[in-house]
């Protein structure tokens, strides 16, 4: 089974259950290399359906101050691309089975070698890649590497995306499409943007691929509201803040609360028979 297959399986399951998938983000190597694997295990145990795992990079353009701090701390403690891949391998060796999607800026992948990185990612058990600074117009080489190794290369759309860009990303993104809820960087926010529903509907009108929303989701109420509209809910900065303040126990309780909120959205299955294998 490929990474694309495993991701499709999660969305098929959650759609059949009438809820969105919970997709937390964590930075590999944060709060420390020794604590990362136990933290990830705890978050999965609390109800995460899929994980976005950030590879630390010195110039994280899309990230707000919270994730920037986590990234800087991880780099200070010696995290490298190779150590990140080793952590993914360790998770698989311990029996972690949920999809693991690596979030990396393009430079570390380019320095590693696109084909070599895709091969290594598959070998350690990663299922996909999110590369926020790689537009589809420049993604052909990495797409080829991902296809060769069964990885999903996920592209992003913003509320400002034109109809032409939406169609392009809908065609090229694999696994799911990452919808950035707001313009700007990541970070927990008090309110969801008022045009989020319209944005999701614009993308939904041109594709049946799963849509996951991230950037700015910080609370149970926001997760529930997004979960009623989208196929996946990505929570990053708010979770990192909880780890800063409450450690692994706090993170576990926070994720369990988010999962409970998604279980209570009250929507029926959306096209449960939909074919997502080609997404």
As annotated, the active-site residues are 52, 63
The beta strand positions in the chain, using DSSP E, are 21-27, 51-54, 100-103, 128-130, 152-154, 156-157, 177-180, 211-214, 232-235
Please confirm whether the linkage preceding 31 is cis (ω < 30° from 0): yes
41: enclosing H helix or E strand = helix 33-45
Distance CA 204, CA 211 (A): 8
DSSP 8-state secondary structure symbol assigned to residue 105: -
CB within 8 Å of 216: residues ≥ 6 apart: 181, 182, 186, 187, 188, 189, 192, 193, 222
């Amino acid at each position: 089974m490929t990474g694309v297959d495993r991701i499709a399986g999660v969305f098929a399951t959650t759609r059949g259950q009438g809820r969105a998938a919970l997709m937390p983000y964590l930075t590999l190597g944060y709060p420390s290399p020794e604590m990362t694997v136990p933290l990830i295990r705890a978050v999965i145990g609390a109800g995460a359906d899929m994980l976005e795992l950030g590879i630390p990079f010195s110039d994280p353009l899309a990230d707000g101050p919270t994730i920037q701090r986590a990234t800087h701390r991880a780099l200070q403690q010696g995290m490298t691309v190779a150590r990140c891949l080793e952590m993914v391998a360790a998770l698989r060796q311990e029996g972690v089975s949920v999809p693991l999607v690596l979030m990396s800026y393009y430079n570390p992948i380019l320095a590693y070698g696109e084909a070599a990185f895709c091969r290594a990612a598959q070998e350690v058990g990663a299922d996909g890649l999110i590369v926020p600074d790689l537009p589809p117009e420049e993604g052909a080489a990495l797409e080829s590497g991902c296809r060769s190794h069964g990885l999903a290369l996920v592209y992003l759309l913003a509320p400002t995306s034109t109809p032409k860009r939406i169609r392009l990303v809908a065609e090229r993104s694999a696994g799911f499409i990452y919808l950035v809820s707001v313009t700007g960087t990541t970070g927990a926010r008090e309110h969801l943007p008022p045009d989020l529903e319209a944005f999701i509907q614009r993308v939904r009108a041109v594709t049946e691929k799963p849509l996951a929303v991230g950037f700015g989701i910080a609370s149970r109420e926001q997760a529930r509201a997004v979960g009623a509209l989208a196929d996946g809910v990505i929570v990053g900065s708010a979770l990192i803040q909880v780890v800063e303040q409450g450690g692994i126990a706090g993170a576990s309780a926070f994720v369990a609360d988010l999962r409970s909120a998604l279980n209570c959205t009250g929507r029926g299955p959306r096209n449960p028979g939909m074919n997502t294998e080609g997404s």
